[in-house]
Structure 1
Amino acid sequence: MSSMSHNNEIAALLMEEEADEEYAMFLGMTAVEEERVANERSASRRLGSVRGHAVIQCDRVQGHNRLYRDYFAEEPVFGSQLFRRRFQMHLPLFLRIASAVEDFDPYFVQRRNVADFVDDYVRIGESTTIESVKKFVKVIVVIFTDEYLRSPNNDDIRRLLEIGELRGFPGMLGNIDCMHWRWKNYPAAWHGMYDGHIHEPIIILEVVASYDLWIWHAFFELPGSYNDINVLKRSNLFIKLTKGRAPPVNYSINSHEYMMGYYLADGIYRQWSTFVKIISVSQVNKRKILHKLKNLQEMM
C-alpha cells in the first residue's frame, strides 16, 4: 500500500515538472513572438525624417520663435549688419527673395502642421532640408533667370560702363575670379582628380560680378586640380566675343577710343586685352618718395 502511494507521489511530481516545463516553454515562445511583432511594427512605422530613425523632440516652434526674435522682429536681437555678417546677404535682399519664392510656390509658406520646422538653429530634419533645398534651387532658377542668370544685354552693358566710369574704371564690365569650394561628401574614386592645392577635394567656381554683386557669369563643377587659367580655357565667358556676337562696348580713355570691355583680374591671368590687373605699388616706397620730395621742397 505504501509502495503504491509512493509511486503515485512520484508520478504526480513528474507530471507537475512536465507542466512547469511546458509553461516555461510557452512563456518563452510568447516572449519571442512579442519581440518579433514589436520589431515588425518598428520597421514598418515611419519615425522622424528618415524611415527607421529615432524620433527626437526638437521643439521646432521654439527654434522658429528664436530665429524670428533674433533677426526678423521689429526690434531684433541682432540688427541688419549682424544678419549680413552671418548669412552673407543683406536683409532686404533676403526678404525680397523669400517673398518671391513664397508667392511662386506655396510649399515654402509656413503651415501649422509643418513637419520638420537648419538642425542646430531652427532644427530642420535632414531629409526635409534636402527636399527644401532642391525645390528652392528650382524655384530660384525659374523666378530669377530672366533678370540675373544670363549674359548682360545692351542696356546692362551701358549701365555697367556708366558705373565703372563713375568709380574710376571706364570700360570695366566686372571682376573675374575663381573660388575654391571644399567638397565634403565626394566619391572616393574622384579624390585624385578633385584634390586641390590644399590637398582636399575641391570644386572650382568661376564668377564675374559687378560692384553691387550682380553675378552674371558663373561656371561651376571643375575639379580642384585645375587653376584659374585651366578653368578660363573651358569657360564660355568669351564665346560670344570670339564669334563676334557680343554686345558693343565703346568707351574713351585719354582721347583713345576702345571697342572692347575688360575685367579686373588678379596676377595669374594672361596678359590679354580683356584683363586689367592690379598694379602693385608698395606703400612703403610711396612714403619714401613723398618724404624725399618734402625734404627737397624744404631745402629749396
Structure 2
Amino acid sequence: MRREDDESDEEDEAWRNAQNRAATMVCQPTAQQTHWGGFVAGPSYKPRNRMMTHANLMNNYFNLNLVYTEKDFRRRFRIRRHVFKRLLHDVQQVNPYFQQKQERAGHAGFSPHQKVTIALRMIAYGSSADPMDETHGISESSCLDTLEQFYVTIVQVYKDKYLREPNQEDLDRLIHKAEDRGFPNMIGSLDYMHWDWNNCPTRWQRGFYERLRMPTVVLEAIASYDTWIWHALFRVPRSQNDITVLGRSPLFNSLTEGKAP
C-alpha cells in the first residue's frame, strides 16, 4: 500500500513539474514577440512628430511672440487664455494622465498643453478624432482617451462649485442682478429646445421621433447672467411640449420637499 502511495506522489510531482515547464515556456518572450508600450514599427505605426506639433502649438498660442491674438484664441477654443491656463493647472494637479511622461521606448509623451487642447477642440467644434490626428499628431484612440479623462477630471474638480443647485448666497446674487435689469424677484429664465440626435441607437429611435420624423431629445436649462448653467435636464423621450417636460423635471423637487433655500 505504501509503495502505491509513493508511486502516486511521484506521478503527481512529475505532472506538476511538466506544467511548470510549460508555463515557463509560454511566459518567456521570444525573439518574434514585442513588448507593449512605446513606438513599435509595424503596419499600424505612424511616425508622428510630437515635439514639432507641441512647438507649433506653443508658438501659435502660448509663447511670448505668439502668432494668434487673444481674440483668435477665444474664437477657436471658446474660452479665454487665462481660463485655459487655469484648467491646465487644475487637471494636472488632480489627474496624473495630464502630466507629461516618458514612454518605455524613451520618447517623451504628449505635453499637457496638447492633451487639454485636443479635448477642448473636440468639445468646442464637436469634431471627431481624425482632424486632431492631422493637426496635433495624436491617434484616434489617444484622442478619445484624452477626451474621456478630461470629462472625468473636470467633473471631479469643479462639481462642488459649478455642478450644483444655487444656495442662498447664489439666489441673493441672482435676484439682485435681475432687479437691476428690471425683473424683480426672478432668479433665471427657463427655456426648452429640441436637439437632433444623429447617433441615436436604432432601438431607441421610435421613442425619440419628433414632428420632423427624426430622433430628437429635449433640453431644459436655466442659466444665469454670467452663463452659469445651474439646472439642466437632457433625457426626456417622445414628443413633449414645455409643460409636459416641466412636469417630469426635478426642477421644483427641492421646493416641494421643503429643502429649497
Pick the TM interval, shorter chain. 0.5 to 0.7
Deviations for 1:201-242, whole angstroms, at most 9, x for unmatched residues? Answer: 333332211111111112223347444443322211111222
Residues in 1 aligned to 2:204 and 2:139: alpha-carbon distance in whole angstroms: 29
Residues in 2 aligned to 1:83 and 1:197: alpha-carbon distance in whole angstroms: 39
Structure with higher Rg: it is 1
Residues in 1 aligned to 2:136 and 2:194: alpha-carbon distance in whole angstroms: 28
1:132 — aligned with what?
146
For normalisation by structure 2, the TM-score amounts to 0.65
Do the aligned partners of 1:47 and 1:53 also contact (CA within 8 Å) in 2?
Answer: no
Residues in 1 aligned to 2:178 and 2:82: alpha-carbon distance in whole angstroms: 25
1:239 — aligned with what?
253
Structure showing the higher strand proportion among its residues:
1
When residues 147 and 125 of structure 1 are mapped into structure 2, their CA distance, relative to the original with a 3 A threshold, is same
1:220 — aligned with what?
234
2:76 — aligned with what?
86
Residues in 2 aligned to 1:77 and 1:191: alpha-carbon distance in whole angstroms: 46
1:149 — aligned with what?
163
For residue 45 of structure 2, give the secondary structure of its aligned residue in structure 1: coil
RMSD: 3.1
Q: Which amino acid aligns with 2:91?
A: V
Tell me the percent identity. Answer: 39
Give, in angstroms, the shift of residue 154 of structure 1: 0.6
The reply to whether residue 188 of structure 1 matches residue 202 of structure 2 is yes
Alignment of 1:91-130 (within 5 A): 91-112=81-102, 113-114=108-109, 118-130=132-144
Q: Runs of 4+ in structure 1 displaced over 6 angstroms?
A: 44-49
Residues in 2 aligned to 1:192 and 1:58: alpha-carbon distance in whole angstroms: 44
Alignment of 1:256-267 (within 5 A): none
The partner residue of 1:60 within 50, 53, 60 is 50
When residues 150 and 195 of structure 1 are mapped into structure 2, their CA distance, relative to the original with a 3 A threshold, is same
Residues in 1 aligned to 2:206 and 2:69: alpha-carbon distance in whole angstroms: 44
Give, in angstroms, the shift of residue 96 of structure 1: 1.7
Size of the alignment, in residue pairs? Answer: 204
Residues in 1 aligned to 2:100 and 2:71: alpha-carbon distance in whole angstroms: 26
Q: Which amino acid aligns with 1:122?
A: H
For residue 95 of structure 1, give the secondary structure of its aligned residue in structure 2: helix
- 5+ residue gaps, structure 1, are 1-40, 248-300
